[in-house]
């Protein structure tokens, strides 16, 4: 992925995280960096970077954008030719693979900030695998997911009728 593509992606993610339901404009990034970080970058400079006219960042600009988007400064470079983020070394353990898969899922659900945050929280947990297995146990226990959601999220909804997960799926198919 090229640097310009990464910046466009980061503007999109930042817009979603800020509740804009759209990508932040270059001008909004400029204004936000100035007000939040007390540092500045010009909109034309951002435009040149994103279009590829300017293929490299100065170190100070890289550090500013890394702080603003909360990414490692090393992310703000072109990826090497043939680089693929989905490649996973055989040396990685099951937990690392699961965490990477969850992070990828969070990126795919960036349009749904609540789901994205939930997947990232799961990936950050020290034992993600145990969390997924716990979720399975919760779902296997009739009404437990609904009751827990009510209690933990403070929702005043009545619990769903007691049916197992497969029965609910079949009921949905019949209703469609």
Measured in residues, the chain has a length of: 176
Report residue 98's pLDDT band, with 50, 70 and 90 as the boundaries.
Answer: confident
Distance CA 60, CA 39 (A): 10
Rounded average pLDDT over 153-170:
55
pLDDT at 173 over 50: no
Cα 64 from Cα 135, distance rounded (Å): 39
Whether the CB-CB separation of 10 and 46 falls below 8 Å is answered with no
Q: What are phi and psi of 124, to 5 degrees?
A: -80, -20
* pLDDT higher at 43 or 98: 43
Q: Has residue 165 got a pLDDT over 90?
A: no
**CB-CB neighbours of 15 under 10 Å:** 18
Question: What per-residue confidence (pLDDT) applies to 172?
Answer: 42
Q: What is the mean pLDDT of residues 105-134?
A: 89
Q: Rounded to whole angstroms, how far apart are CA atoms 8 and 37? A: 20
pLDDT number for residue 176: 43
Task: Provide the pLDDT confidence category of residue 156 given band limits of 50, 70 and 90.
Answer: low
Residues 6+ away with beta carbon under 8 Å from 106: 115, 116, 117, 119, 120, 123
Identify whether the C-beta of residue 32 lies closer than 8 Å to the C-beta of residue 15.
Answer: no
Q: With the CA atoms of 32, 35, 39 and 42 taken in that order, what torsion angle do they form, in degrees rounded to the nearest 10?
A: 50
Tell me if 96 sits within 8 A of 126, measured CB to CB. no
Specify the higher pLDDT residue, 109 or 156.
Answer: 109
Domain boundaries, the chain: 3-75, 94-175
Q: Is 115 within 8 Å of 141 (Cβ atoms)?
A: no
CATH architecture, domain defined by 3-75: Orthogonal Bundle (1.10)
Mean per-residue pLDDT for 88-109? 75
Picking from 33, 17, 108, the residue whose alpha carbon sits closest to that of residue 66 is 33
pTM of the model: 0.49
């Amino acid at each position: 992925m090229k640097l310009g593509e990464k910046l466009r992606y980061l503007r999109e993610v930042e817009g979603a995280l800020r509740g804009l339901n759209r990508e932040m404009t270059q001008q909004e990034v400029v204004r936000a960096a100035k007000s939040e970080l007390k540092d500045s970058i010009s909109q034309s400079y951002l435009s040149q970077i994103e279009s590829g006219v300017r293929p490299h960042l100065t170190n100070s600009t890289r550090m500013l954008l890394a702080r603003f988007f909360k990414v490692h400064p090393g992310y703000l470079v072109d990826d090497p030719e043939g680089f693929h983020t989905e490649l996973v070394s055989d040396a990685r353990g099951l937990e690392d693979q699961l965490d990477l898969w969850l992070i990828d899922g969070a990126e795919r659900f960036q349009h749904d900030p609540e789901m994205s945050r939930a997947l990232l929280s799961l990936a950050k947990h020290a034992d993600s695998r145990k969390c997924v297995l716990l979720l399975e146990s919760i779902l296997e226990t009739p009404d437990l997911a609904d009751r827990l959601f009510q209690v933990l999220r403070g929702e005043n909804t009545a619990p769903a009728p007691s049916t197992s997960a497969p029965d609910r799926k079949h009921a949905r198919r019949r209703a469609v």
